[in-house]
Structure 1
Amino acid sequence: MFTVMIRTAILYSLVLLTMRLMGKRQIGELEPFELAIAIMVSELASLPMQDLGIPLIHGIIPIITLLILQTIITILELKSDLFRRIICGKPSVLINKGKIDVNELRHQRLSFNDLMEELRLKGFYNLQDVEYAVLETSGELSVLPRTDTIPATKKDLNIQSQQEKLPVTLILDGQICKENLKVIDKDISWLESQLKRNKIENANKVFIGILDSKSKFYFQLKD
């Protein structure tokens, strides 16, 4: 039993490392060759876990080989546009200037209902609101709406606005994130002043404290 646990932990760590090195894509965003490698890695890892008669190294070596292969393919993709087209294909324009390309739709083995479903998921319920729709190599649908249907922005209305910033976590479960304070060029004294302003005795009582995108201190107490 202990041997099985150790083998499982080793293989899990190796698969986790492999997937991290492959990048941060979600499963739905993987290119075909990346999805194939992900499936093969999972299968190769599961066999030595289930069968103790299979040497552990017989699972480790193929996984590392696939990681090296994926790295080589990625490098070749960056170097050669032709190689990328061969491996990943190229984006397909399904709607061009507001008109559905029926031949391309058939070529991609998509029905009209499939296209409408993808458009609805992107927030477009009327076909006439779409100028271009492109099926990317990852399977995602990119949509460019008609210009006259795009909501007016603050820039269009000549409204002055300040650029928002990324929110930063300052307190998490009562613990002060000192590194994040340095990121925003603040110190603990500043944070304590924010707590006092909100009538909070100390950070231990705070479940989450964030400097939001508008540079305002947001918090939620533990109780």
Structure 2
Amino acid sequence: MVVRLTGKREMGHVSPFDFVVAILIAEVAVIPIADPGSSIWHGIAPLATIVLAELALSWLTLKSQRVRNVVTGRPSIVIRDGRLVEEELRSVRFCIDDLLESLRSKDVADITDVEVAILEPNGSLSVIRKSQCRPLTPADLGMATGYEGLPLPLIKDGVVNDEALAAAGLDREWLVGELRRRGIGQPRDVFFAQLDTAGELFVQLKQQAWR
């Protein structure tokens, strides 16, 4: 709960500061467990202080670029126009082997194919390929495409998702009718069912998949 209060950034964007805060929270939270004789407030009070300080600092990083640079760091351009930026690599102590490994994980084998590679403050590498090295897209070919969107999960492990049904403008009566049309008696027999934006229903039974 404490980690959730500090925001999704704690889980999805772990900077060195976030990592230190997570360790502090873990260390403080274990105090009442390690010492059964101590009051639970000996753990709650410092934990609340850390969380409030983290929330305050997070607010400051949203409002101030200077604070954000100090707390989370700056992104570093390590490849520009197909050439390594030696000064930045040395500054962030990022060796060439690690850089090549990160590029391979993004299906880039040749650094000369890279327009810009940026080492983000959380340690991840963002890669932008040169335009002539990117895969073709429908937009490149002048082709119009339809809206895809996200499929709606209607049944998960035998449980009907009424919220998803309502979002699709449907109800249980429609769902049961579709299942019976496929020879399926009850929603509880379905492991997973989803409705895509084209109106196609996918149904997988708990032991086999049907369409």
- TM-score higher than 0.5 here? yes
The residue that corresponds to 1:36 in the other structure is 20
Structure 1: tracts of 5 or more residues without a match: 1-16
Alignment partner of 2:83 out of 80, 94, 99: 99
The residue that corresponds to 1:4 in the other structure is none
The reply on whether 1:50 has 2:31 as its aligned counterpart is no
CA drift of 1:203 comes to: 1.3
Q: Larger % of helix: which?
A: 1
CA drift of 1:195 comes to: 1.2
Q: CA 1:214/1:107 → structure 2, altered by over 3 Å: closer, same or farther? A: farther
Q: Which moved more, 1:163-172 or 1:211-220?
A: 211-220
CA drift of 1:27 comes to: 4.8
The number of aligned residues is 207
CA drift of 1:73 comes to: 0.6
Contact 1:173 1:208 in 2 (8 A): yes
Q: CA 1:109/1:168 → structure 2, altered by over 3 Å: closer, same or farther? A: same
In the aligned structure 1, how far is the partner of 2:48 from the partner of 2:10? 21
Q: CA 1:26/1:145 → structure 2, altered by over 3 Å: closer, same or farther? A: farther
The residue that corresponds to 2:7 in the other structure is 23
Structure 2: tracts of 5 or more residues without a match: none
Normalised by the length of structure 2, the TM-score is 0.91
Residue identity opposite 2:196 in structure 1: D
Deviations 1:46-87 (A, max 9, x none): 232122133221111111111101110111111111111121
In the aligned structure 2, how far is the partner of 1:193 from the partner of 1:39? 52
The reply on whether 1:146 has 2:130 as its aligned counterpart is yes
Aligned residues: CA RMSD? 1.7
Contact 1:29 1:139 in 2 (8 A): no
The residue that corresponds to 2:145 in the other structure is 161
Contact 1:130 1:146 in 2 (8 A): yes
CA drift of 1:153 comes to: 0.7
In the aligned structure 1, how far is the partner of 2:205 from the partner of 2:135? 38
Normalised by the length of structure 1, the TM-score is 0.86
The reply on whether 1:179 has 2:163 as its aligned counterpart is yes
Contact 2:31 2:43 in 1 (8 A): yes
Residue identity opposite 2:143 in structure 1: I
